[in-house]
Amino acid sequence: MKEEVKKALDQIRPSLQADGGDAELVDVSDQGVVKVKLTGACGSCPMSQMTLKQGIERILKEKVSQTIRVESV
């Protein structure tokens, strides 16, 4: 599952980098919880929770069916 998450994040990453940010994969639990660290402009952006939930989490749920939720660390 971790490899599937990495591939999905690689597809999302260009959009984040276009705005000066990025997402670093920290961990994927057996229960489907994906932990990411938002870096660059995304790390301090007031919209980062929206990016996390409505962007990254939504796409990971579509691409990796075992994903339950995405958390920022």
Q: Domains plus CATH for the chain?
A: 2-72 (3.30.300.130)
Q: Given pLDDT bands bounded at 50, 70 and 90, which one contains residue 36?
A: very high
**Which residues 6+ apart lie within 8 Å of 57 measured at CB?**
34, 67, 69, 70
Q: Given pLDDT bands bounded at 50, 70 and 90, which one contains residue 67?
A: confident
Cα 45 from Cα 1, distance rounded (Å) = 29
Q: Given pLDDT bands bounded at 50, 70 and 90, which one contains residue 43?
A: confident
58: which 2 tokens? 């939504």
Report the 10 Å Cβ neighbour count for 7. Answer: 11
pLDDT for 17 beyond 90: yes
Alpha carbon distance, N-terminus to C-terminus of the chain: 19
Q: What value does the mean pLDDT take over residues 15-42?
A: 94
Q: Given pLDDT bands bounded at 50, 70 and 90, which one contains residue 24?
A: very high
The reported pLDDT for the residue numbered 14 is 95
37 - beta bridge partners? 24
